[in-house]
Amino acid sequence: MPSLDGLLDAHQKIMRHTRARHLLDDDQQRRRPFGFTLDDTLHVDFSKHPINDETIELLSQLCQHAGLESKRDAMVAGAAINTAEQRPALHMALRSGPGQRSYSADGEPVSAEVHRVLDQISDFCDSLQSGARRGATGQAFTHVVNIGIGGSDLGPRMVCQALRPYADTGLEVRFVSNVDPSDLENCLADMDPARTLFVVASKTFTTQETLTNAKAARRWLNAGLGLASDDVAQSGAHFVAVTAAPQRAEDFGIQASAIFPFWDWVGGRYSLWSAIGLPIALAIGPKRFVELLSGAHAMDEHFIAAPLDQNIPALMGALSYYYRNYWDAASHAVLPYDQNLEALPAYLQQLEMESNGKSITTAAEPVKAKTAPVIWGAAGTNAQHSFFQCLHQGTDTVTMDMLAAAKSPTQDQEQHQILLANFLAQGRAFLEGQDQALAKTRFLAKGMNDEQAELAAINSQIVGNRHITMMIYPELTPWVLGALIALYEHRVFVQAVLCDINPFDQWGVELGKVLAKEILPALNEDKLVEVDPSTQALMARLKAWQA
């Protein structure tokens, strides 16, 4: 009997020559639904994929064979599924509200502490809005600057941008992440130090980029307030910290009452639901922040309870694995037809590529599967005029997600209809392509002669039959965004289980940090450091130009 791998390989060879457009016309080929809706609010449509009932059945078997359900249940139970660091991955606990599912880490309940920190966030937001908490000069805060990097930046930044229509708290939230001093300087250029609050977000409170920017922010603040450069007592009123290392934050000069904790079982790229989401709550208010958590919780419960062949994250993750390993799809494009979701592709780059960009299995052996695809994308319709040409007529297999809301967050629904027309038209074009004979007919109708029309038709032929998931929702509310983000988190987990890798560590990130600390003294103090000849030559050139 053929193995499951052999069955999937044989199935792909058949489906490679099967057009999704034809499958849509043949009800006998698709007895089960290929579109799924969560709480009548988020609809995910797989019908444009070249897949049929057998595909879904094989992918469900693949998930069962990999033990997806038992590993998912272990994650929910708080087992140490982050095997490299022997800790749980309990981001789902962060969005389970009072009276909902309770979570434990290593047998110790954590839900009550999660809710306590949410209350602390709510109280802090209220204190800023009421004016009870003010700066060193007694003025109310108008601006918040989040200083972080990676998971302490990308998630909150993306959510704040996506939910701009809900940002009515009177606080403008900005983000600084790059250690390049231009990032901080550009951010602070038009700000009043007396009205600026800094949120320093770092799990360990040792991240070089974050602490360097935080120290520079304090120098800027002290200079603007006329304080001594080392005066942390008064300037401390302008700083709060989000960290799992509160003592280090206190050593920096941040008051204990202004430190928001989270825990080592919260991974950085899964942390926006924790106190790392403080800037989100400051921008849209704590009630709407809870709505964001509620949407994610709804997706969690669906992932936990839905059968595999009706489980949206399981199907998305299994399809991604199938395309990566049987169709050689090396990249995945995320295409939101929503300007407010412009930062979503960058956020998902970290979520998926840092999680699943691995080559070692959970058993510490070389992985046999192809792991994370390259994640990229941009907002439509801008993307149509940059890289869609390659998606339509290029030679690589690229899988895609397209997202759109039925309603615009603006008052201009008429212009939004143009956006939706493009969204639907591009989905149709990716499905159907353009037949050479039909194209020739169109060119002849434009007045070309037969030879011209033939040549133009050859060049304009588009194969179609691309691998595309369409996602729609009534409007981009905090609830919908929470459900979307959780969907992608679980998709990443499913991919990891199928590849047998740990999605919760990131040793590749750590190496560069270690080497940077070795090189810095050589740049600053002319100390000798053992590096390769290429790096040595580059250092010498840089130092010569700095002289």
- The DSSP 8-state label assigned to residue 207 in this structure reads -
First to last CA, the chain: 71
Answer whether 150's CB lies under 8 Å from 269's CB: yes
Give the single-character DSSP code of 111.
H
DSSP 121-184: HHHHHHHHHHTSS--TTSPPP-EEEEE--GGGTHHHHHHHHHTGGG--SS-EEEEE--SSHHHH
234 residue type, one letter: Q
Report which of 353, 369, 349, 373 is spatially closest to residue 361, judged by C-alpha positions: 369
CA distance 65 to 208: 42
Please enumerate in sequence order all residues whose Cβ is within 8 A of that of 101, keeping only pairs 6 or more positions apart, or say none.
Answer: 76, 92, 297, 300, 301
CB 148 within 8 A of CB 200: yes
Q: How many CB atoms lie within 10 A of CB 326?
A: 18
Of the candidates 196, 214, 197, the residue with the CA atom closest to the CA atom of residue 205: 214
Provide the token pair at 417: 């209809």
Q: How far apart are CA 506 and CA 209, in angstroms?
A: 17
Structure tokens given for 36: 């799924």
Q: Pairing mode, if any, of strands 467-473 and 374-377?
A: unpaired
Preceding amide of 371 cis, omega within 30: no
Q: Helix, strand, or coil here: 472?
A: strand
Catalogue the active-site residues: 354, 385, 513
Q: Take residue 84 and report the two structure tokens written for it.
A: 């490299």
Residue pair 356/503 in contact (Cβ under 8 Å)? The answer is yes
E-strand stretches of 449-509: 467-473
Beta bridge partners of 259: 241
**Helix H or strand E encompassing 458:** helix 450-460
CB neighbour class for 7 (10 Å; exposed up to 12, middle 13-18, buried from 19): middle
The dihedral of CA 473, 479, 481, 486: what is its sign? negative
Q: Name the residue among 176, 147, 71 with its Cα closest to residue 501.
A: 71
